[in-house]
Structures are given as C-alpha cells and as structure tokens.
Amino acid sequence: MLSVEDNEYLTGTGPGTPMGTFMRRFWMPFMLSDEIAEPDCPPVRVRLLGEDLLAFRDSKGRIGLVDEYCPHRRVSLFFGRNEACGIRCVYHGWKFDVDGNCVDTPSEPSDSKFKDKVKLKSYPVREKAGIVWAYMGPQALMGGLPELEWMEVPEDHRYQSRWYQECNYAQAVEGEIDSAHVSFLHSKLDNDAVNKAALTGAFFAEDTAPKWKVTESDFGMTLGARRVVDGGRYYWRMNQWLYPFYTMIAPVPGESRTVRMWVPADDHHCNIVCITYRNDRPVSEQELHNWRTGAAAHAAVLPGTLTPAANMGNDYNIDRDLQRTASFTGIKGIRAQDAAMTESAGAIVDRSLEHLGTSDTAIIKMRRLLIDAAKKLENGEEPAPAQNGSLYRVRSHSVVIDGQDDFDDRPDILAAMQVI
Ligand code: FES
Ligand SMILES: [Fe+2]
C-alpha cells in the first residue's frame, strides 16, 4: 500500500507537480510519425502530461508541437490551416511557425509590430525510428534520446502503434510488470492442450507463485521472476523497467520483442506507444495481421480513434460462455485482458486500500524508485538516465537453466540482456 499522500505524489504529472517535473527531464515518445506523414497534412491534437498540445508537420517537413490554443482569443488551432510553413488560425488568420513564433497577424494594421510580442508555447521535437518525441523540460538540461534497441533495426523489422488506456500511467505500468498475473489473467482453462506449442505458457501454469529477484540499476530495474518447472529446473523471466515509463517484457524465445512506453496524457489517461521488433528478419504478414487486429502485443482501436475496440464502455466484450469453457477471463486478447484489470480499479487506484503480497515485489519497488527519484530532483539531484541515453541499451530475456542459480549470478544471462 501507499499513503494517500504518496499516491498523489506518484500519480500527479501535471505542470508544477514533483513527478511531472521529473518526467519533463526526459524525452517523451508521444505519437507515430505516420500520424503526420506528409508536409502540410492535418494537425493532430496531443495531450501530454496534462497539457493540450497540437502536432503538425510544416511545408518543409519540420514538426511543431505547440499549445493547442491560439494566443489571440484562445480558440483551438486544431481547425487551423497548415500551409506555407506554419499553422494559421482560422478565426482571425494569425499564423505561427513550428517554433511558436507568430509570423503574421493579418487582422492588425499592416504596420503593427504586435506579432513580435506574441509567442505560442512550443516544445522541442525529434523524430526517430517512426516515433515523434518531445522534450518539455528546461532547455539547459535537455539530454539525448534513449538508445533503445528497436531504434537500430531496419524499418521492416518493426511495427509501432499507439492507443489510450483510461487510467493513470503508474497503474498501467504496474499491470505490465506484474509477472504473477500471467498465470491467471492470460491463461486458458486447458493449459496443457492450448500451450503445447508455446513452452513458456505451460510453465506459467506449472508454477503460479514465482519467486522474485529484483535488481536495481542506473536505468531502472530488472525484474526476475523464477518459476520451478520441468521437474526442478529454473525458468527465469527477466522483464526490464526503465525510467520513467519504459517496459520490456520477455518474449517467448525466438519470437518478436516488445517495448511499451506508458506516457502520461494526463493523470487519468495513459498514452501507450508500443513497438514490436525482430532482430533476425523482417516482420511477417502474419505477425502484422496479429498486431493490427489486437490478437497480440498491440491493441486494435476503433477506426480514427486511440480507443481500443474492447474497452470499459463495452465491458471489453466479455463472453461468459468463453469464461466457463475455454478462457480464464472470457475476454479476448491479452491487451484487452490487461486493460480490463488496470482500468477497472478506477482511473487512479486508491493504493492506501491495497493488501500487497510477495507477488507484488516489483510493483512496490517501482513506486519507491519513482518517488525517490522525484524527491531527489526536488533536492537538486538530476536524474542520470535523462542525460545518458546509453543506459537504455538493455533488453528483456527468458531462459530455462539447470542448477539453482539466480539470474544475476550467471554472466551469460547478464550478457544476453545487454545490447552491444
Ligand atoms: S483566435 Fe486565433 S487569430 Fe483570433
Ligand atoms: Fe498482462
């Protein structure tokens, strides 16, 4: 559990909050390049850390991330004309470039210098590997982008999507790093039959109470969950959590890897940017189909929205017959199963009412790391990973070993989690 005060501290990310200030030290991945694919294409509303912003790509291909509201009379620039290197408000024609400079005020006298006094808030933006990133912190403290492995694979080796979850970012991350729920939430009633092909699926059923070994490091923490399987062998599954909101979940050996970025849109909504990638080959048509339809890793959204098709409003399409006969939940799709649990606790779960057990070790640790890091920043200590992108050169891993070693006693396992 957390005290009510600590819960507010952990979950509040708006301007001026300690956690919001901490988050603003990091580059934030917030949308896909494809959403603003062409110069002068329609702008896209972006909600980020409680701020209403607008992203647009100008005639030269540069991306602007600016205040959504026109500084003249505060109407939305979403309706603006994206033309000739700027976004022009359709109310009185004022125009702004990607840096937020006011370049035209045609409703004012032609000799007016008014535009020189007006500025639209804008944030630095970078585009890398199909994702658009923003930096919302102090200029002088801007570091580099994190060096994540998926950024280095060829374009046809990866797939990216984004969607919204209707809860606070911390809650969404907790659902992700909670290795214990896999044995239940995502299970089938007949595990032997269904999971014969996927070896690890059977392991989750074989040992439903994993033993945790969580190791802290400069980038965040490695969450080792150990299950005893196969007559006494150790199945180790190491997920990674990286400051301030990255998760890497261990894939089934030989399968694609997934990295999710749980970016606060505001305190009640999480903007999830999800990358799935392979190191060994381009993604196949079958994989793309599975990801696009929400059968694995990614959520299928309602057309033209960021809202998953299975959502709170339709009870995630729960099928009680399926729940009786085949699936533990009766909800189709791992993403929908996860969202159903994390959203059902309310947008911000009251952590003062929880009863945490040993299976919650990783979650307890993550909360503490985030709160401590934000408190350190309040005391003047800057977060190292915001400045050092090379700390992000890690990956998740799973392995079955003979012997009784902890994962971090084995140099071969530690090496497998490093991106060279
Ligand atoms: S409100 Fe935008 S130009 Fe007047
Ligand atoms: Fe899950």
Give the span between the Cα atoms of 238 and 396, in whole angstroms.
6
Among 8-17, 18-27, 192-201, 247-256, the least confident range:
192-201
- What was the pLDDT predicted at 198? 52
Q: Does any ligand 1 atom lie closer than 6 A to the CB of residue 87?
A: no
Give the span between the Cα atoms of 185 and 174, in whole angstroms.
14
How many CA atoms within 13 Å lie on the side-chain side of 259? 25
Spell out the residues 6+ positions from residue 11 whose beta carbon is closer than 8 angstroms to its own: 19, 168, 169, 170, 171, 267, 348
pLDDT digits (tens, 9 = 90+) for 341-397: 999 999 999 999 999 998 899 999 999 999 999 999 999 999 999 999 999 999 999
> What does the block give as tokens for 148?
């994540």
Q: What ranges do the domains of the chain cover?
A: 34-139, 149-416
Q: Does any ligand 1 atom lie closer than 6 A to the CB of residue 92?
A: yes
- What was the pLDDT predicted at 315? 98
- What was the pLDDT predicted at 201? 63
Q: SS3 string of the chain?
A: CCCHHHHHHHHCCCCCCHHHHHHCCCEEEEEEHHHHCCCCCCCEEEEECCEEEEEEECCCCCEEEEECECCCCCCEHHHCEECCCCEECCCCCCEECCCCEEEECCCCCCCCCHHHHCECCEECEEEECCEEEEECCCHHHCCCCCCCHHHHCCHHHEEEEEEEECCCHHHHHHHHHCHHHHHCCCCECCHHHHCCCCHHHHHHHHCCCCEEEEEEECCEEEEEEEEEECCCEEEEEEEEEECCCEEEECCCCCCCEEEEEEEEEECCEEEEEEEEECCCCCCCHHHHHHHHCCCCCCCCECCCCCCECCCHHHHHHCCHHHHHHCECCCCCCHHHHHHHHHHHCCCCCCHHHCCCCHHHHHHHHHHHHHHHHHHHHHCCCCCHHHHCHHHHCECCEEEEECCCCCHHHCHHHHHHCECC
Quick one: which atom of ligand 1 is closest to the CA of 70? 2
Give the span between the Cα atoms of 298 and 121, in whole angstroms.
33
CATH code for residues 34-139: 2.102.10.10
What predicted TM-score, i.e. pTM, was given to this entire model? 0.95
Give the span between the Cα atoms of 57 and 41, in whole angstroms.
7
- What was the pLDDT predicted at 403? 85
Q: How far is the CA of 345 from the centre of ligand 1 (A)?
A: 41
pLDDT digits (tens, 9 = 90+) for 211-231: 999 999 999 999 999 999 888
Could you tell me which of 390, 169, 154 has the C-alpha nearest to residue 261? 169
pLDDT digits (tens, 9 = 90+) for 289-335: 999 988 789 999 999 999 999 999 999 999 999 999 999 999 999 99
CATH of region 149-416, choose from 3.90.380, 3.40.50, 3.30.160, 3.30.70: 3.90.380
- What was the pLDDT predicted at 191? 60
Give the span between the Cα atoms of 324 and 125, in whole angstroms.
49
Residue with tokens 């992700």: 176
pLDDT digits (tens, 9 = 90+) for 66-96: 999 999 999 999 999 999 999 999 999 999 9
Percent of the chain predicted with pLDDT > 90: 85
Q: Is the pLDDT of residue 38 over 70?
A: yes
pLDDT digits (tens, 9 = 90+) for 399-416: 999 989 999 999 999 999
Instruction: Judge contact between 213 and 229, C-beta under 8 A.
Output: no
Q: How far is the CA of 102 from the centre of ligand 1 (A)?
A: 11
Instruction: Judge contact between 377 and 131, C-beta under 8 A.
Output: no
Among 3-7, 35-39, 203-207, 270-274, the least confident range:
203-207
Q: Dihedral of CA 402/359/328/283: which sign? A: negative
- What was the pLDDT predicted at 85? 98
Q: How far is the CA of 163 from the centre of ligand 2 (A)?
A: 16
Give the span between the Cα atoms of 366 and 334, in whole angstroms.
23
Residue 215 pairs in a beta bridge with 222
Instruction: Judge contact between 91 and 72, C-beta under 8 A.
Output: yes
> What does the block give as tokens for 103?
């370049």
Residue with tokens 């999971």: 195
- What was the pLDDT predicted at 359? 87
Q: How far is CA 317 from CA 106, 190, 311, 339, 345, in A?
A: 52, 21, 8, 12, 18
- What was the pLDDT predicted at 179? 76
Most ligand 1 atoms within 8 A of CB, residue of 73, 76, 81, 118 to mutate:
73
- What was the pLDDT predicted at 197? 45
- Return the residue whose CA atom lies nearest to atom 3 of ligand 1: 92
Q: Does any ligand 1 atom lie closer than 6 A to the CB of residue 73?
A: yes
Q: Is the pLDDT of residue 243 over 50?
A: yes
Give the span between the Cα atoms of 412 and 420, in whole angstroms.
14
- What was the pLDDT predicted at 156? 98
Q: Is the pLDDT of residue 193 over 80?
A: no
b/e per residue, 110-126, with b = 16+ CB within 10 A?
eeeeebeebebebbebe
Q: Does any ligand 1 atom lie closer than 6 A to the CB of residue 94?
A: yes
Q: Does any ligand 1 atom lie closer than 6 A to the CB of residue 419?
A: no
Q: Is the peptide bond before 210 cis (omega within 30 degrees of 0)?
A: no
Residue 47 CA, distance from chain mean position: 14
Most ligand 1 atoms within 8 A of CB, residue of 91, 102, 103, 115 to mutate:
91
Most ligand 1 atoms within 8 A of CB, residue of 54, 66, 69, 72 to mutate:
72
Spell out the residues 6+ positions from residue 381 whose beta carbon is closer than 8 angstroms to its own: none
